[in-house]
Amino acid sequence: MRPDLFEAPDYYQLDDLLSDEHLLVRDAARQWVKRDISPIIEEYAQKAEFPNQIIKGLAEIGAFGPYIPEEYGGAGLDQISYGLIMQEIERGDSGVRSTASVQSSLVMYPIFTYGTEDQRKKYLPKLATGELMGCFGLTEPDHGSNPSGMVTNFKDKGDHFLLNGAKLWISNSPFADIAIVWAKNEEGRIHGLIVERGMEGFSTPETHNKWSLRASATGELIFDNVKIPKENLLPGKSGLGAPLGCLDSARYGIAWGAIGAAMDCYDTALRYAKERVQFGKPIAATQLQQKKLAEMITEITKAQLLAFRLGQLKNEGKATTAQISMAKRNNVEMAITIAREARQVLGGMGITGEYSIMRHMMNLESVLTYEGTHDIHLLITGADITGIQAFK
């Protein structure tokens, strides 16, 4: 892969709206991506392997639990800092951002929000440093968009619970030390359980042959009569709202992250168009390529404004699920459209691993689907504005 010459676009001077802390956090993540992700990521994506060595660096830039209080090992930052970190990481690769999203919003968040004080003290500091890695099991083979139909279940056996079932498409599962697993009790009520690697009957086979998120490890979670200590139940919230609450936080991070992938594609295409000469002039001098580039920067700027305002609302505790859905859906679609256009600007070179664009494009196919598909988010907006649910 070529040297990383990335320069971030800021067409509407959004940096002026960021605090000194935001800029510090953002720039630290940006430098880390340039130094530790860009030089290696293409190789790991090609060989479909998660680069374990980056875990320490992710922890150091505050990517594990950015908004979790410092007393539990988190970085104690606000939601805009969290968003900026996700943006910078996904500028490098959506799969790396996935690992950080899962650890922060789908593992640390539920332990912090629904867990006991003992659970917080036991797990959060080690998750913040990456000493422990986690995953989140909601999706099942027969229940993706409709998680309320899940069949994974646990029974009360007096001094422990007995867990049975299976989860599919679980980011980080092949190497995670713990899994936050959503399962129904005997009354059919959904609860979160902390399942630890090594528990008898618990296995995590890896899913192979993905064309997308190749540098992220994805797998299954299989529970065959797994004995779960009672103290591993998250007692703070039950019902589907508990996992959906975690998804609000992760989807918010994705709304920012997608901007990073789009910025990288735009910056690469702009640089290439100015350098590539055809018919005796740079292709950037042609109206058709300028149209592509001008539309890209317009859409990135709109997405940045959406994410920034959503971050303000999140900081004030006012962001709704439907507002988060709109931003996730809009910004991921914006990014994948830009990736496809940017690929064309590079002609044949766009399909090679010399440039990051095709990797971003393929990664974004997963981002479009996970954390609620593109269509599900449209239906969430539809339900919000009409008051009528169209899922069922």
Residue 137, binding choice from ligand TGC, ligand FAD, none, Cβ under 5 to 8 Å by partner class: ligand FAD
Q: Which of 129, 153, 301, 321 binds ligand TGC (CB under 6 A)?
A: 321
Cα separation, 104 vs 88, whole angstroms? 15
Nearer to ligand TGC, 5 or 390 (CB): 390
Contact between 248 and ligand TGC (CB under 6 A)? yes
Minimum CB–partner distance for residue 169 and ligand TGC (Å): 7
Distance of alpha carbon 310 from the chain centroid: 17
Where do we find the tokens 């994948």?
Answer: 336
- Site for ligand FAD, rule CB under 6 A: 102, 135-139, 144-145, 169-171, 213, 218, 366, 369-371, 373, 375-376, 391
371 is catalytic: yes
Q: Look at the alpha carbons of 258, 263, 266, 269 in this order and tell me if their dihedral is positive or negative.
A: negative
Contact between 391 and ligand TGC (CB under 6 A)? yes
AA letter at 4? D
Options 42, 333, 341, 371, the catalytic residue: 371
Q: Helix, strand, or coil here: 258?
A: helix
Structure tokens at 149: 């139909």
Cα separation, 319 vs 312, whole angstroms? 8
Q: Identify the H or E element spanning 147.
A: none
212 close to 363: Cβ distance less than 8 angstroms: yes
Choose the stretch contacting ligand TGC; rule: CB under 6 A; options: 13-21, 34-42, 48-56, 366-374. Answer: 366-374
Contact between 376 and ligand TGC (CB under 6 A)? yes
Positions 215 through 244 that interact with ligand TGC (CB under 6 A): 239-241, 244
Nearer to ligand TGC, 145 or 225 (CB): 145
Residue 164, binding choice from ligand FAD, ligand TGC, none, Cβ under 5 to 8 Å by partner class: none
Q: Helix, strand, or coil here: 377?
A: helix
What is the secondary structure of 58-95 as a DSSP string? HHHTT-SSTTS-GGGTS----HHHHHHHHHHHHHH-HH
What is the secondary structure of 96-130 as a DSSP string? HHHHHHIIIIIIIHHHHHHS-HHHHHHHHHHHHHT
Contact between 139 and ligand TGC (CB under 6 A)? yes
Minimum CB–partner distance for residue 144 and ligand FAD (Å): 2
Q: Which of 129, 148, 286, 312 binds ligand TGC (CB under 6 A)?
A: 148
Minimum CB–partner distance for residue 314 and ligand FAD (Å): 21
Structure tokens at 311: 């971050």
Q: Binding residues for ligand TGC, per CB under 6 A?
A: 98, 101-102, 136, 138-139, 145, 147-148, 171, 239-241, 244-245, 247-248, 250, 321, 370-372, 376, 380, 391
Query: Hey, which residues are catalytic here?
Result: 371
